[in-house]
C-alpha cells in the first residue's frame, strides 16, 4: 500500500511542517540539572476540585524546590465539557491558595515559549505526527460506526473478554487499499487509530515516582489518536504535549494508571523520551464508617469553591493538604512552628501510595490554629475579604466599622488576654459568631431557667446600677449585690455548702444578664461585651430581655 499517499489523503493539510521543525520550535529548556518541569492539565469544565489542588501543590512544590517550571495547559479537546471562564477560575482558585504558575494558558509570563497552551490551538502538530505514523504504517483509518463498536463491546462482554479495539476485533486494521479508498469515496467518517505493536503476553515493569515499581501488561489496543473531527484524544495529545513542552514529571490521578501501557507505547512509536510519572492516590473520606472516594455529587467539600465560599483560611487548607501529601510534614511543622510551609523539603517519594484520607475535622483544627496566630487587624482583614465577596449586605455594613469589629475580635479571640481562644474555624462561622453585636442581626433566644418575676427583678436591679465606667471587678461586685438581693448566693462557696438556701448562685444571675444582652447562655466576658455594645444598647437589650 502506498502509505505516503494514504497519509496525505487522510490528512491533507498542507500547512504541516516537517517534524524536525517542531523539534526546533520547542528546544530543550535551559534549566539546572535536577530541575523538574511539571504541569497541571485540567479540562476547562469549570469544576476545580480538591484533587486538582492536591496535585497542583505537589507539582508546584516539586518544580519550585528543584529550580524548575510549573505550567498550566488546558486540555480542551472535548468541547462539550467546556465552560466559559473556567481557565480564569482555575488560576484564581489556585492563586487563592498561593499556588502560582510560571507559564501557560492566560499566564502573563516571558517564559511562555512552549505554547499554545490550549490543545485546540495545537491541532497542526498532532496532525503532523499522526500523518507520520500513518506513513510509517503505525496508524490507520478506522471507519467503524458507533453501533458496530457497541456490538463488538457487547460480544466481548458476553465472552468475558477484554473490551476494546484489538486483535481480531480490530476490523479496520487490515483493510485493503481498495476498501479504504472505497470507504473514503463513500464519504464515511473515520478516526485514526494507532496500529499497536504490543503484545499482552509481555509485562513491563515501570517505576512510578509515587507508587514505586508497578508491573503492567503491554498495550495491544489500537486506540484512537485522532477523532473524526481531527482533534486528538487525551492519550495522543498527552504524549505530544508533554514531549514538546519538556515536562519531566507528569503528576496525575491514579485513574490514569490503567492507560499507562497506551502511553508507554505512544512515546515509543513517536520516538520520544518518556517523562517520569507519579500517579497520585485518590482522596477518600470515611462516610458512616465506610472509606470511599470523595464524590462530586455527594461531597460539597470536593469543590475548591467550597473552601473559598465557606471562608477557610487558605494557608490552613494548604497546610492540611501538605500533611496528607508528605507524611513527615506534620513533624517538621511541630519542630518549625514559625516557618513558612515553603521551607519544608517536599519529597515526591514521601507521597502516599494509596487512598489519602481527607478528614475535615482535622482541617478545621488546623484552620482554628492558623487563625489564632493572627492579630485582630489581620483577622479583620481576612474576615472582611470574605464578607466583601460572600457576605450579606448587612455584613458589609457591619464590617465598614473596622474599629468596632476589631474591639469584638480582640475579645472573642482572647487577644491580649491570658489565653488565646481558637473559636473561629473559618470566615463564614466567624462572621456569624459576631452577629449578636449588631441589632439588625441580633436574634436572641431568651432561654431563661428562672421564672419571669426573678428574671425581671434581676434585670431591673442591674440596669439601675449599670455604669459603663466600671471595671471588671466593680461590675462583678454589682452582679453579686443583685444576686444577694434576689435570693441567690453572692459567693459560689456559700452556694456549694448549702444550695437549698438559695435560688441559685451568682453564676445564674450572670447567666440571666448574659441571655438578655447576648441572646445566648454562653458568651465571652459579659462586662467587656457590654462595654463594646455601649451603655445605650446594653440598657435597651436589658429592657427588651425582660419577660
Ligand atoms: N486532562 C486530564 C484530567 O483532567 C489531565 C490528566 C493529566 O494530568 O495528564 O484528568
58 CA distance to ligand 1 middle (Å) = 15
The whole-angstrom separation of Cα 59 and Cα 41 is: 11
For 391-459, strand residue ranges (E) read none
Residue of 40, 43, 257 with the most ligand 1 atoms within 8 Å of its CB, for mutation = 43
At 470, list the grid cell: 466600671
Average pLDDT over residues 39-58: 92
Give the DSSP per-residue string, 5-73.
HHHHHHS--S-PPPHHHHHHHSPPP---TT--EEEE---SSS--BHHHHHHHHHHHHHHHHTT-EEEE-
DSSP type of residue 273: P
The x, y and z cell numbers of residue 15, run together, are: 500547512
Averaged pLDDT for residues 266-287: 96
Structure letter (DSSP) for residue 373:
T
Pocket probe for ligand 1: among 37, 39, 40, 41, the residue whose CB has the most ligand atoms within 8 Å is 41
Closest CA to 515 of 464, 410, 445: 445
Say what the pLDDT of residue 338 is.
87
Average pLDDT value for residue range 218-231: 96
CA 254–ligand 1 middle distance (angstroms) = 10
In this predicted structure, the answer to whether residue 132 has a pLDDT above a threshold of 80 is yes
In angstroms, the CA 224 to CA 144 distance is 12
Query: C-alpha grid cell for residue 91?
Result: 488560576
Asked if pLDDT for residue 262 goes beyond 80, the answer is: yes
Q: Name residues whose C-beta falls within 8 Å of residue 1's C-beta, 6 or more positions apart in sequence.
A: 176, 177
Mutate which of 42, 45, 104 for ligand 1 pocket (most atoms within 8 A of beta carbon):
42
**Sign of the torsion angle spanned by Cα atoms 262, 267, 273, 278:** negative
Cα–Cα dist 34/40, whole Å: 20
d(CA 127, CA 192): 10
From start to end of 324-449, where are the E strands?
356-357
Q: How far apart are the C-alpha atoms of 444 and 545, rounded to whole Å?
A: 9
Cell of 292: 470511599
Nearest CA to ligand 1 atom 9: 252
Per-residue pLDDT, 324: 93
The closest-lying atom of ligand 1 relative to the alpha carbon of residue 252 is 8
The values of phi and psi at residue 201, to 5°, are -85, -5
Confidence of residue 175 (pLDDT cuts 50, 70, 90): very high
Least Cα distance to 249 among 279, 228, 222, 221 occurs for: 279
pLDDT tens-digit map of 148-173: 999 999 999 999 999 999 999 999 99
Please give the distance, rounded to the nearest whole angstrom, from the Cα atom of residue 156 to the centre of ligand 1: 28
Q: Interhelix angle for 526-533 vs 535-544, to 10°?
A: 110
State in Å: Cα 105 to ligand 1 middle: 15
The closest residue, in CA terms, to atom 3 on ligand 1 is: 42
Which residues does ligand 1 sit against, CB inside 6 Å? Answer: 41-43, 75, 238, 250, 252
Mean of the pLDDT values across residues 525-534? 97
pLDDT at 415: 87
Return the DSSP state at 145: -
Ligand 1 center from residue 218 Cα (angstroms): 22
Tell me the mean pLDDT in the region 22-39. 97
* Residue with the three cell numbers 454589682: 478
Measuring from atom 4 of ligand 1, which residue has the nearest CA? 42
String of b and e for 277-310 (b: at least 16 CB within 10 Å)?
bbbbbbbbbeeeeeeebbeeeebebbbbeebbbb
Distance 38 CA to ligand 1 centre (A): 12
Could you tell me the pLDDT band of residue 48, with boundaries at 50, 70 and 90?
A: confident
**DSSP type of residue 122:** G
Let me know: does 237 contact 305? Beta carbons within 8 Å: no
The residue whose CB lies within 8 Å of the most ligand 1 atoms, and thus the one to mutate among 209, 234, 240, is 234
Per-residue pLDDT reduced to its tens digit, 235-257: 999 999 999 999 999 999 999 99
Mean pLDDT of the chain: 95
Residues composing the chain: 547
Question: In angstroms, rounded to a whole number, what is the distance separating the alpha carbons of residues 52 and 48?
Answer: 6
Q: What is the tens place of the pLDDT at every residue in 301-350?
A: 999 989 999 999 999 999 999 999 998 999 999 999 889 999 999 999 99
- Residue 122 neighbours by CB under 8 Å, 6+ apart: 116, 237, 240, 241
Ligand 1 centroid to residue 41 C-alpha, Å = 5
Ligand 1 nearest-atom number relative to CA 251: 8
Closest residue (by CA) to atom 5 of ligand 1? 41
What pLDDT was estimated at residue 83?
84
Burial class (CB in 10 A: 0-12, 13-18, 19+), 383: buried
pLDDT higher than 80, residue 81: no
Which ligand 1 atom is the nearest neighbour of the CA of 256? 6
Are 530 and 517 in contact by the 8 Å Cβ rule? The answer is yes
pLDDT at 82 over 90: no
Query: Which set of grid coordinates corresponds to residue 415?
Result: 487577644
Cell, residue 88: 480564569
| φ/ψ of residue 519, rounded to 5 | 80, 5
What pLDDT shows up at residue 354?
A: 82
28 CB-side CA count, 13 A:
7
Q: What is the pLDDT of residue 78?
A: 85
- Ligand 1 mean position to 82 CA, how many Å? 14
Of all protein residues, the one whose alpha carbon is nearest to atom 10 of ligand 1 is 42
Distance 4 CA to ligand 1 centre (A): 33
Report the 10 Å Cβ neighbour count for 149: 16
Task: Give Cα separations from 235 to 141, 193, 264, 272 (angstroms).
Answer: 17, 11, 10, 14
Beta-bridge partners for 497: none
Nearest Cα to Cα of residue 281 among 537, 512, 54, 533 = 54
Q: Which of 308, 328, 315 shows the shortest CA–CA distance to 363? A: 315
Position 46 pLDDT exceeds 90: no
User: Whole-model pTM?
Assistant: 0.89
Rounded to an integer, what distance in angstroms lies between the CA atom of residue 382 and that of residue 121? 40
Looking at ligand 1, which atom is closest to the CA of residue 238? 9
Q: What is the pLDDT averaged over residues 511-527? A: 97
Determine the average pLDDT of the residues in 433-459.
97
Q: How far is the CA of 74 from the centre of ligand 1 (A)?
A: 9
Strands (E), 219-264: 224-226, 249-253
Give how far the C-alpha of residue 240 lies from the chain's centroid of Cα atoms, to the nearest Å. 28
Helices (H), 118-145: 123-135
Reference 234, options 210, 215, 262; nearest CA is: 262
Are the CB atoms for 39 and 58 separated by under 8 Å?
Answer: no
Residue nearest to ligand 1 atom 7, measured at CA: 252
Q: What's the gap in Å between 299 CA and the centre of ligand 1?
A: 21
CA-closest residue to ligand 1 atom 1: 42
State the pLDDT at residue 514. 98
Q: Find the 434 Cα to ligand 1 centroid distance in Å.
A: 43
Cell of 161: 473478554
Q: Kindly give the pairing relationship between strand 37-40 and strand 69-72.
A: parallel
pLDDT at 323: 94
Taking alpha carbons only, the member of 307, 211, 251, 349 closest to residue 54 is: 251
Let me know: does 70 contact 36? Beta carbons within 8 Å.
Answer: no
Q: How far is the CA of 346 from the centre of ligand 1 (A)?
A: 22
**What is the 3-state secondary structure of 97-112?**
CCCCCCEECCCCCCCC
Closest-CA residue, ligand 1 atom 8, reads 252
Q: How confident is the model at residue 79 (pLDDT cuts 50, 70, 90)?
A: confident
Q: Which residue has the higher pLDDT, 421 or 132?
A: 132
- Pick the closest to residue 74 from 108, 102, 39 (CA basis): 39
Query: Among the atoms of ligand 1, which is closest to the Cα of residue 39?
Result: 8
Residue 80 has pLDDT above 90, yes or no: no
Amino acid at each position: 500500500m502506498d502509505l505516503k499517499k494514504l497519509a496525505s489523503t487522510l490528512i491533507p493539510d498542507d500547512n504541516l511542517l516537517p517534524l524536525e521543525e517542531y523539534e526546533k520550535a520547542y528546544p530543550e529548556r535551559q534549566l539546572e540539572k535536577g530541575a523538574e518541569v511539571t504541569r497541571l492539565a485540567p479540562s476547562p469544565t469549570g469544576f476545580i476540585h480538591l484533587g486538582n489542588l492536591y496535585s497542583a501543590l505537589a507539582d508546584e512544590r516539586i518544580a519550585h524546590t528543584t529550580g524548575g517550571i510549573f505550567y498550566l495547559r488546558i486540555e480542551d479537546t472535548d468541547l462539550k465539557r467546556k465552560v466559559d471562564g473556567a481557565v480564569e477560575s482555575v488560576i484564581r482558585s489556585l492563586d487563592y491558595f498561593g499556588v502560582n504558575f510560571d507559564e501557560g494558558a492566560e499566564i502573563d509570563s516571558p517564559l511562555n515559549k512552549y505554547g499554545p497552551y490550549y490543545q485546540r490551538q495545537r491541532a497542526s502538530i498532532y496532525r503532523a505526527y499522526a500523518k507520520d505514523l500513518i506513513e510509517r504504517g503505525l496508524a490507520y483509518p478506522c471507519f467503524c460506526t458507533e453501533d458496530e463498536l457497541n456490538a463488538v463491546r457487547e460480544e466481548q462482554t458476553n465472552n468475558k473478554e477484554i473490551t476494546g479495539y484489538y486483535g481480531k476485533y480490530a476490523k479496520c486494521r487490515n483493510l485493503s487499499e481498495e476498501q479504504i479508498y472505497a470507504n473514503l469515496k463513500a464519504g464515511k467518517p473515520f478516526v485514526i487509530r494507532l496500529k499497536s505493536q504490543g503484545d499482552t503476553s509481555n509485562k513491563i515493569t515501570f517505576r512510578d515516582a509515587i507508587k514505586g515499581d508497578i508491573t503492567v501488561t503491554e498495550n495491544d489496543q489500537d486506540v484512537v489518536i485522532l477523532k473524526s473531527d481531527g482533534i486528538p484524544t487525551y492519550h495522543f495529545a498527552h504524549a505530544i504535549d508533554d514531549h514538546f513542552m519538556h515536562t519531566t514529571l507528569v503528576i496525575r490521578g491514579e485513574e490514569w494508571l490503567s492507560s499507562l501501557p497506551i502511553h508507554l507505547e505512544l512515546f515509543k512509536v513517536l520516538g520520544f523520551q518518556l517523562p517520569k510519572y507519579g500517579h497520585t492516590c485518590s482522596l477518600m473520606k470515611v462516610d458512616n464508617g465506610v472509606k470511599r472516594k470523595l464524590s462530586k455529587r455527594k461531597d460539597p467539600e470536593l469543590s475548591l469553591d467550597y473552601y473559598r465560599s465557606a471562608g477557610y483560611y487558605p494557608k490552613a487548607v494548604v497546610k492540611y493538604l501538605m500533611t496528607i501529601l508528605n507524611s513527615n510534614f506534620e513533624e517538621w511543622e511541630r519542630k518549625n512552628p514559625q516557618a513558612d510551609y515553603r521551607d519544608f523539603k517536599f519529597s515526591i517519594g514521601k507521597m502516599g501510595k494509596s487512598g489519602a484520607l481527607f478528614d475535615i475535622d482535622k482541617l478545621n483544627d488546623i484552620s482554628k490554629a492558623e487563625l489564632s496566630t493572627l492579630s485582630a487587624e489581620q483577622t479583620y482583614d481576612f474576615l472582611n475579604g470574605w464578607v466583601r465577596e460572600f457576605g450579606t449586605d448587612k455584613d458589609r455594613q457591619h464590617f465598614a466599622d473596622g474599629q468596632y469589629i476589631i474591639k469584638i475580635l480582640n475579645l472573642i479571640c482572647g487577644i491580649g488576654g491570658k489565653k488565646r481562644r481558637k473559636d473561629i474555624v473559618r470566615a463564614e462561622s466567624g462572621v456569624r459568631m459576631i452577629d449578636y453585636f449588631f441589632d439588625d442581626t441580633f436574634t436572641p433566644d431568651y432561654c431563661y431557667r428562672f421564672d419571669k418575676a426573678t428574671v425581671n427583678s434581676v434585670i431591673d436591679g442591674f440596669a439601675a446600677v449599670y455604669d459603663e465606667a466600671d471595671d471588671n471587678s466593680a461590675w462583678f461586685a454589682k452582679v453579686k449585690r443583685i444576686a444577694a438581693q434576689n435570693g441567690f448566693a453572692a459567693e459560689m462557696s456559700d452556694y456549694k455548702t448549702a444550695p437549698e438556701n438559695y435560688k441559685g448562685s451568682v453564676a445564674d444571675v450572670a447567666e440571666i444578664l448574659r441571655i438578655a444582652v447576648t441572646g445566648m447562655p454562653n458568651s465571652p466576658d459579659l462586662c467587656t461585651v457590654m462595654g463594646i455594645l455601649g451603655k445605650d444598647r446594653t440598657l435597651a437589650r436589658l429592657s427588651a430581655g425582660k419577660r
